[in-house]
Amino acid sequence: MPHVTTNGVRTFYRMSGEGPPLLLIAGNGMDHTTFDEQLKAFGPHFRCIVYDLRGIGASEVPEAGYTPMEMAKDALALLSALDVGTAHVAGYSLGGAIAQEMALAQPERVRSLSLYSSYERPLPYMRLRYDILIKVVEETTPELWAMYSAFSAFGPEFVNAHEKALREEIAKRTARWNDGQGPSRKGLAGHYRAILAHDTSSRLGAIRCPTWIAVGGADAVTSPVHSERMHQLIPGSFLQIYPSKPHRILNFEADAFTRDALEFLLLQERHA
């Protein structure tokens, strides 16, 4: 299993595909398999780099460093360890927050920025959700965590229309944890705290690389208001909203989302 030390953290990574480098950053509590559905489409055009964030999967679970700024240092150090000078950077949810910090910290290394179901700062609803999730993950059972995390992520419109899919998602999350494959409580709570620590709202105007922003119209976690705000703040950015789709557009709108995400990346290569 390939590991490198990035910013003092032992980090698991994988590379696949051929072409210009593309770093894909997962969301909270999600590992390097997050983008499996996209890799099939991206791989023929890009050298895709996926990894486990600090606190998750096969990467180290440190005591501290759970902020998007520090996790952006992890990602930049990973690129350096792999001898990648510049890359397209795409992040989902918390991964999008990390990607923003990368583009702000070392803009010369980010060829393009893709922000999937992400946000610029947590509004009160999001803050309360993650305050509750921290309590749930630290003090209760895996089953309750699975139920609340899934229920609160999908929202009433999607749940009412797809109850079976939601219950299957809850069962999957519970089974992974009970089988010993779930995230550590420390790492997951760290990811939740990282979400609460994120705020680029006063700095996004400094981003100059081509930027694509995508979100589900029924996203109950990072609602479209966040994507609309990022679109307003990042000069020349593009915004795509998928009507009636939930937070995890990677999976629940996979075909259209993947096609559009790839089209944006290929456009940047044609204009390079």
Q: Residues 6 or more apart from 211 whose CB is under 8 A from it?
A: 112, 113, 114, 115, 234, 236, 237, 238
Is residue 107 domain-shared with residue 223, that is, in the same domain? Answer: yes
114 pLDDT exceeds 80? yes
Q: Count the domains in the chain.
A: 2
Is residue 167 domain-shared with residue 217, that is, in the same domain? Answer: no
Tokens matching residue 195: 């979400």
Let me know how long the chain is.
Answer: 272
Tokens matching residue 205: 């105007």
Q: How confident is the model over 110-125, as a mean pLDDT?
A: 98
Is residue 167 domain-shared with residue 219, that is, in the same domain? Answer: no
pLDDT of residue 100: 98
Q: Residues 6 or more apart from 64 whose CB is under 8 A from it?
A: none
- Give percent of the chain with pLDDT exceeding 90: 85
| pLDDT bracket for residue 137 (50, 70, 90) | very high
For 37-90, write each residue's pLDDT tens digit: 999 999 999 999 999 999 999 999 999 999 999 999 999 999 999 999 999 999
pLDDT of residue 159: 86
Taking alpha carbons only, the member of 15, 204, 172, 218 closest to residue 97 is 204
Is residue 112 domain-shared with residue 209, that is, in the same domain? Answer: yes
End-to-end distance of the chain based on CA atoms, in angstroms?
Answer: 34
The rounded distance, in Å, linking the Cα atoms of 121 and 222 is 10
Is residue 247 domain-shared with residue 179, that is, in the same domain? Answer: no
129 pLDDT exceeds 80? yes
Q: Between the CA of residue 237 and those of 106, 172, 188, 206, what are the distances in Å?
A: 18, 36, 31, 12
The rounded distance, in Å, linking the Cα atoms of 41 and 38 is 5
| pLDDT bracket for residue 157 (50, 70, 90) | confident
Residue that finishes a domain, picked among 187, 217, 240: 187
Q: Strand pairing of 47-51 and 9-16? A: antiparallel
Q: How confident is the model over 87-109, as a mean pLDDT?
A: 98
Listed range (31-35, 111-115, 155-159) with the worst mean pLDDT: 155-159
Is residue 47 domain-shared with residue 160, that is, in the same domain? Answer: no
The rounded distance, in Å, linking the Cα atoms of 103 and 23 is 12
- Which residues form the domain of 113? 3-120+200-271
Point out which residues pair with 216 in neighbouring strands.
242
pLDDT of residue 158: 84
Q: How confident is the model over 213-226, as a mean pLDDT?
A: 97
166 pLDDT exceeds 80? yes
Average pLDDT, the chain: 95
The rounded distance, in Å, linking the Cα atoms of 85 and 139 is 42
Is residue 219 domain-shared with residue 97, that is, in the same domain? Answer: yes
Q: Say if 43 falls within a structural domain.
A: yes
Q: Residues 6 or more apart from 121 whose CB is under 8 A from it?
A: 198, 199, 200, 201
pLDDT of residue 135: 96
CATH code: domain of residue 38? 3.40.50.1820
Residue that finishes a domain, picked among 138, 159, 187: 187
Residue that finishes a domain, picked among 156, 187, 218: 187
Q: Say if 141 falls within a structural domain.
A: yes
The rounded distance, in Å, linking the Cα atoms of 163 and 98 is 32
pLDDT of residue 173: 86
